[in-house]
């Protein structure tokens, strides 16, 4: 049990990658604060954890609602105890050719994916510093933070490069407080986000969603789509003591689809 006795909070924990990470943290012995924009999804994952004999709670948390975040964090700490790990995972995407991108596309992607990480990390870092026990912050970035060659995703690419840059800057500033900050860059992961993107990309390229998914597999040397559990396994490593001397790193988990 690599996370026995640790308290881990996660955003966007109700579905997809966030859900898999929440379950994996709990399976390693962590007490998990599952948060999501959709409280019913968060509650469902917390119930999965408690149903399996683990300890978890759920909270509604919109990462763009900067004013609400301190109150949610206080409630989590009051219920589960001081945090050891915080995982900024919530993210959204839309798809459009660059020339057709709207201000709404830009703002929504930047607000959730980039500013959401800033909003939560600042509150969490203040809490970790006050508790004086160090800690770990993990950010879900993307392969779209490693290469801009991601069709119809210019705004999403910008938001995810921001996450990797912010990860490094926070890692440097928070290191004296024994807080590490790392990001994970998944590839083509089977989630509801991918379901939407395969549909949109198909419409934009005159392909079916299945044909788009085949292209994702062809672009992946390991020859299959990525699962949320592939990402969760690496998240557990970044949450555990095994990664204590890593900070400011962006870890690629993409089956070889992008190699730096």
Task: Give residues 17-36 in contact with ligand NAD (rule: CB under 6 A).
Answer: 17-18, 36
Under a CB-based contact definition with an 8 Å cutoff, are residues 88 and 68 in contact?
A: no
* Rounded CA separation 75/78 (Å): 5
The torsion region of residue 195 among left (phi > 0), alpha (psi -120 to 50) and beta comes to: alpha
The distance of closest approach from Cβ of residue 203 to ligand NAD in the complex, given in angstroms and rounded to an integer, is: 18
* 156 carries an active-site annotation: yes
Nearest-CA neighbor of 157 among 228, 88, 93?
A: 93
Q: Which is nearer to ligand NAD, 106 or 134 (by Cβ)?
A: 106
The H-or-E segment that residue 251 falls in is: strand 250-253
Q: Which stretch binds ligand NAD (CB under 6 A): 2-10, 135-143, 147-155, 170-178?
A: 135-143
Under a CB-based contact definition with an 8 Å cutoff, are residues 4 and 84 in contact?
A: no
The distance of closest approach from Cβ of residue 5 to ligand NAD in the complex, given in angstroms and rounded to an integer, is: 26
Q: Which stretch binds ligand NAD (CB under 6 A): 1-9, 49-57, 140-148, 234-242?
A: 140-148
Task: Give residues 186-215 in contact with ligand NAD (rule: CB under 6 A).
Answer: 186, 188-189, 191-194
Q: Which is nearer to ligand NAD, 121 or 194 (by Cβ)?
A: 194
Cβ burial 26-64 (10 Å sphere, 16+ → b, else e): bbbebbbbbbbbeeebbbbbbebbeeeebebbbbbbbbb
Binding footprint of ligand NAD, residue count (CB under 6 A):
30
* Rounded CA separation 175/166 (Å): 14
229 binds ligand NAD (CB under 6 A): no
Among 32, 46, 89, 121, binds ligand NAD (CB under 6 A): 89
The distance of closest approach from Cβ of residue 149 to ligand NAD in the complex, given in angstroms and rounded to an integer, is: 14
Would you name the residues annotated as active-site residues?
Answer: 156
Residues near ligand NAD, by CB under 6 A: 11-12, 14-18, 36-38, 41, 61-64, 89-92, 112, 140, 142-143, 186, 188-189, 191-194
């Amino acid at each position: 049990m690599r996370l026995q006795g640790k308290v881990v909070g996660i955003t966007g924990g109700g579905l997809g990658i966030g859900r898999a990470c929440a379950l994996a943290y709990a399976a390693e012995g962590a007490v998990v604060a599952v948060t999501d924009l959709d409280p019913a999804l968060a509650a469902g994952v917390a119930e999965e954890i408690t149903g399996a004999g683990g300890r978890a709670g759920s909270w509604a948390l919109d990462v763009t609602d900067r004013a609400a975040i301190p109150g949610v964090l206080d409630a989590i700490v009051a219920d589960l105890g001081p945090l050891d790990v915080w995982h900024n995972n919530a993210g959204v995407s839309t798809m459009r050719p660059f020339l057709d991108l709207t201000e709404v596309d830009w703002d929504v992607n930047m607000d959730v994916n980039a500013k959401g990480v800033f909003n939560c990390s600042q509150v969490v870092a203040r809490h970790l510093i006050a508790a004086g026990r160090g800690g770990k912050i993990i950010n879900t970035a993307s392969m779209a933070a490693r290469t801009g060659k991601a069709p119809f995703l210019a705004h999403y690419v910008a938001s995810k490069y921001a996450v990797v840059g912010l990860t490094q800057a926070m890692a440097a500033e928070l290191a004296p407080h024994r807080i590490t900050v790392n990001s994970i860059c998944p590839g083509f992961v089977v989630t509801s986000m991918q379901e939407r993107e395969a549909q949109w990309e198909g419409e934009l390229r005159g392909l079916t969603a299945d044909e788009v998914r085949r292209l994702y597999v062809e672009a992946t040397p390991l020859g299959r789509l990525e699962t949320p559990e592939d990402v969760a396994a690496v998240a557990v490593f970044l949450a555990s003591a095994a990664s204590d001397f890593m900070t400011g790193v962006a870890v690629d988990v993409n089956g070889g689809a992008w190699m730096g």
